[in-house]
Amino acid sequence: MPSRRTRPAPSARPGISQPRWFHPLKQHNYRLFLGMQLAGSLGVWMQRLAQDWLVLQLTGSSAAVGAAVALQFLPMLVVGPLAGLVVDIFPKRRIMMVCQSVIVLLGLGLAAWAASGTITVWVVYASCMALGVTAAVDQPTRQVFVNEVVGDAALRPAIGLNNALAQLGAMAGPALGGVLIAQAGPAAAFASNAVIGLVVLGLIAGIRPHELHPGTPAERGRGQVLAGFRYVRERPRLLLLILLAGLLGAFGMNGPVVLAAFAQDVWHNGVEGFGLFNMVSAGGALAGALLAARLGTMGRRGIVAAAGLFGLSQLVAALMPTLVLFVAMLAVVGIMTLLFLTSAATAVQLEAGPAIRGRVMALYLPLLLGGHACGGLLAGWLTEQFGVRTGLVVTGGLGMLSAAVVGLLLWRYGRRRGLAARE
Going by C-alpha positions, the residue among 193, 324, 263 that lies closest to residue 53 is 263
Structure-model confidence comparison of residues 371 and 179, the more confident one: 179
Going by C-alpha positions, the residue among 160, 169, 165 that lies closest to residue 343 is 160
In contact, 342 and 167? CB cutoff 8 Å: yes
Average pLDDT taken over every residue of the chain: 80
Residue 19 has pLDDT above 70, yes or no: no
Q: How confident is the model at residue 235 (pLDDT cuts 50, 70, 90)?
A: confident
Angstrom distance (rounded) from CA 156 to CA 352? 12
Q: How confident is the model at residue 7 (pLDDT cuts 50, 70, 90)?
A: very low
Going by C-alpha positions, the residue among 192, 280, 250 that lies closest to residue 402 is 250
Label residue 239 exposed, middle or buried (CB < 10 Å: 0-12, 13-18, 19+).
Answer: middle
Sign of CA dihedral 61, 66, 67, 71: positive
In contact, 320 and 326? CB cutoff 8 Å: yes
When pLDDT is averaged across residues 105-129 and rounded to a whole number, the result is: 89
Kind and range of the H or E run holding 405: helix 388-422
When pLDDT is averaged across residues 371-396 and rounded to a whole number, the result is: 79
Residue 370 has pLDDT above 70, yes or no: no
Sign of CA dihedral 328, 329, 331, 335: positive
In contact, 374 and 268? CB cutoff 8 Å: no
Kind and range of the H or E run holding 165: helix 155-184
When pLDDT is averaged across residues 354-377 and rounded to a whole number, the result is: 74
pLDDT of residue 9: 35
Q: How confident is the model at residue 198 (pLDDT cuts 50, 70, 90)?
A: very high
Residues in the chain: 423
The share of the chain scoring above pLDDT 70, in percent, equals: 84
Angstrom distance (rounded) from CA 250 to CA 373? 7
Q: pLDDT tens-digit profile of 270-299?
A: 777 877 887 788 778 778 877 876 776 677
| φ/ψ of residue 2, rounded to 5 | -65, 140
pLDDT of residue 8: 38
When pLDDT is averaged across residues 17-38 and rounded to a whole number, the result is: 75
When pLDDT is averaged across residues 52-67 and rounded to a whole number, the result is: 82
From residue 282, give the alpha-carbon distance in Å to each of 185, 295, 342: 20, 20, 15
Cβ density class 41-53: b for 16+ within 10 Å, e for less: bbbbbbbbbbbbb
Q: Which alpha helices (DSSP H) does 296-356 contain, by range?
A: 300-318, 323-351
User: How does DSSP assign 71-109, residue by residue?
Assistant: HHHHHHHHHHHHHHHHHHHS-HHHHHHHHHHHHHHHHHH
Q: pLDDT tens-digit profile of 80-103?
A: 777 777 777 788 889 999 999 999
Angstrom distance (rounded) from CA 305 to CA 16? 26
Angstrom distance (rounded) from CA 303 to CA 306? 5
pLDDT of residue 356: 77
Q: Name all domains of the chain by residue range, CATH numbers in brackets.
A: 23-418 (1.20.1250.20)
Give the three-class secondary structure for 231: helix
In contact, 48 and 173? CB cutoff 8 Å: yes
Q: pLDDT tens-digit profile of 392-408?
A: 888 889 889 999 999 99
